[in-house]
């Protein structure tokens, strides 16, 4: 006998930030909603193994840096030590509290939480274990996971998820990958006292960002003592039992035939992420297509090729950021269940601000200089930029740079790109993001009176 379907108005597959936001907004309109999550904890990558615990570790690393700076302000800190295990335990307890808050929020808003792995039976039916659930609207918000290189011994390394499982601090770390995840974790490891080497396939890092960010970050990380293996490609990882540094990483270098190798006690793969679609049984909904990167194809309204099936967040693959998934999810729920006034509701994916929690921090919104040249033509854009030392470092012997770039176009010099790196940039970007989203021009920036002494005043005084 076939299982009897339980009926809902809306089924959300994935209990991450985007799925949860969409489910709760839909329920607020009176829809009968279910969230299916198979990991055993709500919150997705961001809450459990991403933004939130990463920021806790970043904060710890920043405190250590501040203690090192204290002597230059006449403050004596006689002795300090760092306990990785203590911070891990406190961080994990904080995340656990957030998991509980997420679950209680679902309960308060009458959203049913179904624990298990979801797979499609048809475009309106989802199977979890032996149960079948039916809805006329189904959202796929299953997120993504780290890519592990297909080389010998790769299982001996860890990914960014397992970074948060480390019970003790590694002495010597290899970070393979130079995107924002690799750069953030490398900075945390180093600031907390590990010996760190970053492996990158080119001469550059953060290649998807404007060069002012990547080049400045690279120079400053090298000044701090982080080592880089440029033009490198990992070839094998071998475990050597009984050794103090038990992992031997071998890599090739472009332009040479001779491989190199070194020993570490932690090798972290940070070479990219890929969407979670394998368990979904998408063959049962043939109109739901995947693109060449494996992400689910959807339009600007999050509609897939099958009526009533939607996709957003990391599995959709456009601007893979938690606030983006949340915003897209809420707008989708508004459109589906909020009535006629939300009939055209959708997220505008242009000019989305984002921050890199590196050491130093960086922020970006809009087009890079190269993208602006390609879109408008090199003659049609103008670039304003500045470099200076944050006043925090006026009394320190080292002078980490702060660098800022504005990219404008047209006779009115509309701002189409803003890129900043240096102390405090993570907190200053949000307000400028509002201005750029509203269509601010260089003159609008100039007309804003500067706040002195701050780094952000440089953005309204550039010439």
Calpha distance 123→296 (Å, rounded): 15
Cα dist from 400 to 222, 224, 391, 392, 422, whole Å: 11, 9, 10, 10, 8
Cα dist from 1 to 6, 79, 123, 423, whole Å: 15, 71, 21, 64
Cβ-count burial of 319 within 10 angstroms (0-12 exposed, 13-18 middle, 19+ buried)? middle
- The end-to-end CA distance of the chain, in Å, is 76
Q: Around 25, how many Cα atoms within 13 Å sit in the side-chain half-sphere?
A: 21
DSSP per-residue string spanning 371-432: HHHHHH-GGGEEEEEEEEE-GGGGGSSS--EEEEEEEEETTTTEEEEEEEESTTHHHHHHHH
- Looking at the DSSP bridge assignments, the partners of residue 114 are 36
The C-alpha angle 214, 217, 219, rounded to 5 degrees, equals: 105
Structural contact between residues 284 and 120, judged by C-beta atoms closer than 8 angstroms: yes
Structural contact between residues 54 and 94, judged by C-beta atoms closer than 8 angstroms: no
Cα 254 from chain centre: 29
Q: Which residues are within 8 A (CB) of 277 and not within 5 positions of it... i.e. 6 or more apart?
A: 142, 290, 294, 296, 315
Calpha distance 354→363 (Å, rounded): 6
Structural contact between residues 237 and 249, judged by C-beta atoms closer than 8 angstroms: yes
Longest Cα separation, the chain = 78
The C-alpha angle 400, 402, 405, rounded to 5 degrees, equals: 150
Catalytic site residue 452? yes
Strands of the sheet containing 172-176, edge to edge, are 227-229, 195-199, 172-176, 266-269
Cα 101 from chain centre: 22
- Of 89, 145, 156, 452, which is the active-site residue? 452
Strands of the sheet containing 354-356, edge to edge, are 354-356, 362-366, 414-421, 401-409, 381-389
CA-nearest of 290, 5, 282, 284 to 122 is: 284
Q: Which residues are the active-site residues? A: 452
């Amino acid at each position: 006998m076939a299982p009897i379907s339980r009926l809902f108005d809306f089924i959300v597959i994935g209990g991450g930030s985007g799925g949860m936001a969409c489910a709760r907004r839909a329920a607020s309109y009176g829809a009968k909603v279910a969230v299916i999550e198979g990991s055993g904890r709500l919150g997705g990558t961001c809450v459990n193994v991403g933004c939130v615990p990463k920021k806790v570790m970043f904060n710890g690393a920043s405190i250590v840096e501040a203690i090192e700076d204290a002597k230059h302000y006449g403050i004596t800190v006689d002795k300090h030590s760092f306990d990785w295990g203590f911070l891990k335990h406190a961080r994990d307890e904080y995340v656990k509290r957030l998991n509980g808050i997420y679950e209680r929020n679902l309960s308060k808003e009458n959203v049913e939480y179904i624990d298990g792995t979801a797979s499609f039976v048809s475009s309106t039916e989802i199977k979890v274990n032996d149960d079948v659930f039916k809805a006329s609207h189904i959202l796929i918000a299953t997120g993504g996971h780290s890519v592990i290189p297909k080389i010998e011994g790769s299982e001996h390394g860890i990914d960014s998820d397992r970074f948060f499982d480390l019970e003790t601090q590694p002495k010597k770390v290899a970070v393979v990958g130079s995107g924002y995840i690799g750069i953030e974790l490398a900075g945390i490891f180093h600031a907390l006292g590990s010996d760190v080497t970053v492996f990158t396939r080119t001469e550059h890092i953060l290649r998807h960002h404007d060069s002012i960010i990547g080049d400045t970050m690279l120079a400053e990380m090298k000044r701090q003592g982080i080592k880089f293996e440029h033009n490198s490609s990992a070839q094998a990882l071998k475990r050597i039992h009984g050794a103090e540094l038990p992992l031997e990483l071998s890599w090739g270098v472009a332009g040479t035939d001779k491989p190199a190798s070194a020993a570490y006690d932690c090798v972290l793969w940070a070479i990219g992420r890929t969407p979670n679609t394998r368990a979904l049984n998408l063959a049962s909904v043939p109109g739901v297509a995947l693109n060449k990167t494996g992400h689910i194809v959807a339009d600007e309204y999050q509609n897939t090729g099958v009526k009533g099936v939607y996709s957003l967040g990391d599995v959709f693959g456009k601007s893979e950021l938690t606030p983006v998934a949340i915003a897209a999810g809420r707008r989708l729920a508004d459109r589906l269940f909020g009535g006629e006034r939300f009939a055209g509701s959708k997220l505008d994916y242009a000019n989305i601000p984002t921050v890199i929690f590196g050491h130093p921090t960086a922020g970006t919104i809009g087009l890079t200089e190269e993208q602006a040249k390609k879109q408008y033509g090199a003659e049609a854009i103008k670039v304003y930029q500045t470099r200076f030392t944050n006043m925090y470092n006026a009394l320190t012997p080292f002078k980490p740079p702060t660098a800022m770039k504005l990219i404008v176009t047209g006779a009115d010099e509309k701002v189409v790109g803003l890129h900043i790196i240096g102390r405090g940039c993570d907190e200053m970007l949000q307000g400028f993001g509002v201005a750029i989203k509203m269509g601010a021009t260089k003159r609008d920036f100039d007309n804003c009176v500067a706040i002195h002494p701050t780094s952000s005043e440089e953005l309204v005084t550039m010439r």
